[in-house]
Structure 1
Amino acid sequence: MVSYVIRRLLQSALILLGVSLVTFILLYLIPADPARQIAGRSATAQTVENIREQLGLNLPFYEQYVRYLLNLLQGDLGRSYLQKTEVSELIAARLPATLLLMAGAIFCELLIGLTMGLVAALKRNTPTDTTLMVLSFTGVSSPQFVIGILLLYVFAVQLGWFPIGGYGTFMHLVLPSLTLGLLGAGWYARMMRSAMLDVLRQDFIRTARAKGLKRVQVLFGHAVPNALLPIIAMIGIDIGLFMSGIVVVESVFGWPGIGQLAWQAIQRVDIPIIMGVTLVSACAIVLGNFLADMVAPLIDPRIKLR
């Protein structure tokens, strides 16, 4: 176990290093000039050059990257070009809102998706199965902003059950979580159905039935735990995706998360914030996958960590 954890930590460090390098290269190659963005359109060429020198943007690429890595090793994500605030402080201020929305979205998509997938597997090749799979495909294919606006119009504007937007209470959380949950539930429903059908054909399921176990015991004691293994891996990936990929939902509902922070930074070419959010999201994906690998043996003892 210890050797496995050490190996995974080393792998994670290399992955994060690769993410930082690729992101830094892409930001270095973009045609936009951060110094010009900061100085404004009316600034003189000398002013722009002075700002570029102060920020170190006139240095060669490798010097800029090495400087960034050295600061990163000290826990310094840099300072926002435009907001004049430490990136770590900006992310820390937005992180609780994103984590709350992420937890709500994962809960919704698991509750809806796993239920749909389980029912579809048990009702295989029936109208119920077909209807659920069509709904799951529709959910996966629907744009985020369409689902969000429809939910807002029906449940906030017409029925008045929930606030139109904002952040701070449980009622503010429901609609954005449901929006993300409906989109993710389709993937979980399809995967759960496929995994359940595969498990139900296994010999140990037939043995459990032959021993006279009740159907509920067979399903939830043997079939469902084995079908959940690929689901756990998907949850690990979702953690990272929700950390940075919910910009549209955050914008529709006025949710102050780091996705919205990243979008604002991209519009303004605020490189330190873009790098900071990217690395935090990458850390979330790595951590999510690591936790998924650690939980898998608890569900299926046949899995060994090596």
Structure 2
Amino acid sequence: MIAYLGRRLIQSVLILLGISLITFALLYLLPADPVRQIAGRSATPATVESIRRQLGLDQPFLVQYGRYLWNLLHGDLGRSYIQRSEVAQLIVARLPATLLLMVGAIVCELAIGLTMGVVAAVRRGSNTDQSLMVASFIGVSAPQFVVGLLLLYVFAVRLSWFPIGGYGTFSHLVLPSLTVGILGAGWYARMMRSSMIDVLRQDYIRTARAKGLARVTVLMRHALPNAILPIIAMIGIDIGILMGGIVVVESVFGWPGIGQLVWQAIQRVDIPIIMGITLVSAFAIVLGNFLADIIAPFIDPRIKLR
């Protein structure tokens, strides 16, 4: 276990290092000039060059990247060019809202997707199976802003069950989580159906049925724990995606998460914020996959960490 954790730690550091290098290089090659955004249109060339020197943007690429890594090792994500605040503080301020939406969305994805997948697998080839798979395809294909606006119109405007937007209470969380959850549920349903069908063909399922165990017991106790293993890996990926923020959903519902912050940063070419949120999202994906690997052996003892 210790050797495995050590290898995974080294791999994680290398992955994050590679992501930081690629992201920094792409932002360095951008045709847009962040100094012009800071200085304004009326700034003189002398003012622009002065700001460029102050920010160290006149240095070669390797010098800039090396300085960024050195600051990163000391926990410094940099300072926003536009907002004049520490990037870490800006991210931490938006983090609670993002985490709340992430948890709510994953709960909705699992509740809807796993239920659809299991029912479709059990009734494979029936009208129910086909209807659920069509519904999952529609959920995956539907644009988020369309789903969000439709939910707002029905449940907030017409029925007045939930607030139109904002943040702070459980009622504010329901519609944004459901919007994200409907999209993810389609993927989970299709994955769960495929995995469950494969498991239901196994010999130990036939043996459990031959022993006279109830159908629900066979499904919940023997089939589901093995079929759910691919879903755990998907959750690890979802954590990183949702941590990066969902710009469309946050905009539709006025949700003050990281997505809005990074979108504003992209519009203003605020490189420190873009780098900071990219690394936080990458770290979340790495951490999510690591936790998924750790949890898997507890669900299926046949899996060994090596």
Aligned to 1:211: 211
| One-letter identity of the residue aligned with 1:107 | V
| One-letter identity of the residue aligned with 1:222 | H
What is the CA–CA distance in structure 2 between the aligned matches of 1:157 and 1:58, rounded to whole Å? 53
Q: Secondary structure at the match of 1:78?
A: coil
1:222-258 CA-to-partner distances (Å, cap 9, x unmatched) read 0000000000000000000111141110111000001
| 1:254-293 equivalent positions in 2, closer than 5 A | 254-293=254-293
What is the CA–CA distance in structure 1 between the aligned matches of 2:32 and 2:264, rounded to whole Å? 15
What is the CA–CA distance in structure 1 between the aligned matches of 2:53 and 2:155, rounded to whole Å? 52
Q: Secondary structure at the match of 2:226?
A: helix
| One-letter identity of the residue aligned with 1:180 | V
Tell me how far 1:259 sits from its aligned partner.
1.0
1:131-162 CA-to-partner distances (Å, cap 9, x unmatched) read 00000000000111110011111111111111
Q: Secondary structure at the match of 1:121?
A: helix
Aligned to 2:186: 186
Retained in 1: the 8 A contact 2:98–2:245?
no
Tell me how far 1:214 sits from its aligned partner.
1.5
What is the CA–CA distance in structure 1 between the aligned matches of 2:245 and 2:55, rounded to whole Å? 29
What is the CA–CA distance in structure 2 between the aligned matches of 1:177 and 1:24, rounded to whole Å? 32
Identity of aligned residues (%): 78
Deviates more, 1:210-219 or 1:139-148: 210-219
| One-letter identity of the residue aligned with 2:266 | I
What is the CA–CA distance in structure 2 between the aligned matches of 1:73 and 1:83, rounded to whole Å? 23
Tell me how far 1:196 sits from its aligned partner.
0.6
What is the CA–CA distance in structure 2 between the aligned matches of 1:48 and 1:35, rounded to whole Å? 6
What is the CA–CA distance in structure 2 between the aligned matches of 1:211 and 1:301, rounded to whole Å? 23
What is the CA–CA distance in structure 1 between the aligned matches of 2:85 and 2:77, rounded to whole Å? 11
Poorly superposed stretches of 4+, deviation over 4 Å: none
Aligned to 1:134: 134
Q: Does residue 220 of structure 2 align to residue 220 of structure 1?
A: yes
Q: Secondary structure at the match of 1:84?
A: coil
| 1:24-35 equivalent positions in 2, closer than 5 A | 24-35=24-35
| One-letter identity of the residue aligned with 2:129 | D
What is the CA–CA distance in structure 2 between the aligned matches of 1:278 and 1:269, rounded to whole Å? 14
Tell me how far 1:211 sits from its aligned partner.
1.8
| 1:1-306 equivalent positions in 2, closer than 5 A | 1-306=1-306
| TM-score, with structure 2 as normaliser | 0.99
Tell me how far 1:207 sits from its aligned partner.
1.1
1:62-117 CA-to-partner distances (Å, cap 9, x unmatched) read 00000000000000000000100000000000001000000000000100000000
Q: Secondary structure at the match of 2:196?
A: helix
What is the CA–CA distance in structure 1 between the aligned matches of 2:121 and 2:60, rounded to whole Å? 58
The runs of 5 or more residues in structure 2 that have no matched partner are none
Q: How many residues align?
A: 306
| One-letter identity of the residue aligned with 2:293 | D
